[in-house]
Amino acid sequence: MAAWVPVPCVARLSDSRTEDTSRFIGVLAAGAIRRLTIGCRMAPNKLPVTLSAIRAARSRIAGAAIRSPLLRLDAPGAPTEIRVKLECLQPIGSFKVRGAANAMAVADAALLARGVYTGSAGNMAQGVALAARRHGVPCRVIVPDTAPRTKLDAIARLGAAAVPLPFDEWWAVLRDHGHPAEDGYFIHPVSDPAVIAGNGTVGLEIAEQLPGVRAVVVPYGGGGLSCGIAAALREVAPGVPVFAAEVETAAPFSAALGAGRPVEVRHRPSFVDGIGSTGVLEEMWPLARALLAGSVVVSIEEVCAAIRVLAGGARVVGE
């Protein structure tokens, strides 16, 4: 299953697999069994993002993001029906356009006049850059020095300036909510409530496109997408578990679930550059722990197998 590419995967489980969500294993079409850590199912006392905020975000971003298709994946041997949400068909090739567009739409005009900046491995950078161009304001993006040239070129084409930093310094921008050398309005790529609400519009679409959805598996980078989707489904499709998908080269959410708190993990660079970090952001931990049902950790080899299955079974090249 292509659960770790930026096309959130929706799996419709057979009846025999729905009663105990702890047995859910995240199906890879190649047939391997996932390593699963189960999270806490307790609802948070107060979600920072409400259903009304997510619905309002959908109205705001209607002209910036598409309603992406939910495609049935031809995956011979898979024990369940798998659907993939093709967020790779968004204008920038990523779901990030949703959160970026919503965050810019609700920002104060006086703050935007100073320019905007964000920290991103490449996709949120493009989302903010595109939104900034539409608003007519300058944009700078702080990227890890491991960001691929293709994403840097895309950022430049959108008129934004990329500022590369070593990975640990880049991660500090997300952890500290900004960089002291930057003067513009900072849009956090993960924990900004407006970004999470924009991401949550994916969850609304999933519920509408697949009313009988039984489980959802979402790539976990910082948690903004998975928590946004889970926040939406919690209201419109109660009881549908949402699982995080991580790659073994950096799986901080799985490690945090095992330890009962955020812990530092080793980050090993790989071609899977859009997810994986050295830790779970402190402000995201309570939300992710409450909303997500567990973590599915996959190997690089399994990522490669999933990309091949997605290309062969759906004619889609996913990141």
> What is the b/e burial string over 207-227, where b = at least 16 CB atoms within 10 angstroms of the residue's CB?
bebbeebbbbbbbbbbbbbbb
| Cβ proximity of 54 and 236 under 8 Å | no
pLDDT of residue 33: 33
139 and 84 in a common domain? no
83 and 57 in a common domain? yes
pTM for the whole structure:
0.85
Report how far residue 163's alpha carbon sits from residue 298's, in angstroms, rounded to the nearest whole number. Answer: 31
Kindly state the tokens that stand for 284.
């995201």
pLDDT of residue 2: 28
Q: How many CB atoms lie within 10 A of CB 20?
A: 8
Which residues 6+ apart lie within 8 Å of 180 measured at CB?
Answer: none
> What is the b/e burial string over 235-256, where b = at least 16 CB atoms within 10 angstroms of the residue's CB?
bebeebbbbbbbbbbbbbbbbb
pLDDT of residue 95: 94
Query: 300 in a domain, yes or no?
Result: yes
- CATH number, domain of 286, equals 3.40.50.1100
pLDDT of residue 305: 87
Kindly state the tokens that stand for 50.
């409400």
- The model's pLDDT over 182-232, given as tens digits with 9 standing for 90+, comes to 989 999 999 999 999 999 999 999 999 999 999 999 999 899 999 999 999
300 and 204 in a common domain? yes
- The model's pLDDT over 87-108, given as tens digits with 9 standing for 90+, comes to 999 999 999 999 999 999 999 9
Going residue by residue through the chain (319 aa), what tens digit of pLDDT does each one get? 222 234 444 433 333 333 322 233 333 333 333 345 555 554 444 667 899 999 999 999 999 999 999 999 887 777 788 999 999 999 999 999 999 999 999 999 999 999 999 998 778 999 999 999 999 999 999 998 888 888 899 999 999 999 999 988 998 998 899 999 898 999 999 999 999 999 999 999 999 999 999 999 999 989 999 999 999 999 999 999 999 999 988 888 999 999 999 888 787 777 777 787 878 888 999 999 999 999 999 988 888 888 888 888 778 887 7
139 and 37 in a common domain? no
Report how far residue 310's alpha carbon sits from residue 291's, in angstroms, rounded to the nearest whole number. Answer: 27
What is the three-state SS of 151-162? Answer: HHHHHHHCCCEE
Query: 15 in a domain, yes or no?
Result: yes
Report the DSSP beta bridge partners of residue 283: none
pLDDT of residue 227: 97
CA–chain centroid gap for 284, Å, is 13
What phi and psi values does residue 108 have, to the nearest 5 degrees?
Answer: -65, 135
Single out the residue of 221, 236, 199 nearest to residue 275, CA to CA.
221
Q: Which of 166, 186, 206 is the last residue of a domain?
A: 186
125 and 18 in a common domain? no
pLDDT of residue 167: 87
What's at 43, amino acid-wise?
A
What phi and psi values does residue 164 have, to the nearest 5 degrees?
Answer: -80, 140
What phi and psi values does residue 258 have, to the nearest 5 degrees?
Answer: -65, -35
155 and 244 in a common domain? no
Report how far residue 129's alpha carbon sits from residue 177's, in angstroms, rounded to the nearest whole number. Answer: 18
What's the domain range around 309?
A: 9-92+193-314
Q: Number of structural domains, the chain?
A: 2
